[in-house]
Amino acid sequence: MTSAGGHIGFWIVAFLTLHGANFGETKTNSLNEPDVPFPPACPTAQNLAAICHQGQGRPRYLASFFPSSGASHFRRRGNAINRLESWYRSCCSGQVVQQSHQILCCAQQAWKQALSQFCVEEYSTMTMPYECCEDRGDARWTCFNSELPNPNYSSTPGYTAPNVPEEPGFTFNPNTC
């Protein structure tokens, strides 16, 4: 004979096991991989306001977000997103842009430079590179700007991005606008 408490305990354990309770900071998808929505969309006139005004509501990926091993390609994606968000912040705040019509041009340059750096990092490993990195020129940018998880740069409800250090390495060239 078992007690009622034993049955309740059994059902709690079964429920947590079946539903994969996630008490850690890492969010995972159905394949038990870190959830890093990638790639980011190319900045456009339609999503620029969200890029500039909702940045604190989009995820950042700190080291604690990832498992201690086996997620290096997700870590590189997270680093690319963090770098890009930092550079967007610079473009939108006027730190690097002298005229307001250049904000979109700056954001597009930041997007290309962040993804180019991501591809360099992808090729510096012994794993298969992200598929878009294999393309060159406009084909690379078309690839990165397809099948987008968040094309409008919508914020995540209830999320506030942690303070992350500004990423060095971005240089805006106003002569290409």
**Could you give the C-alpha distances from 121 to 65, 72, 144, in angstroms and in order?**
19, 11, 16
The structure's pTM equals 0.79
Nearest to 88 by CA among 176, 166, 9: 166
**82 pLDDT band (50/70/90 cuts)?**
very high
Q: What is the pLDDT of residue 99?
A: 78
The pLDDT of residue 24 is above 60: no
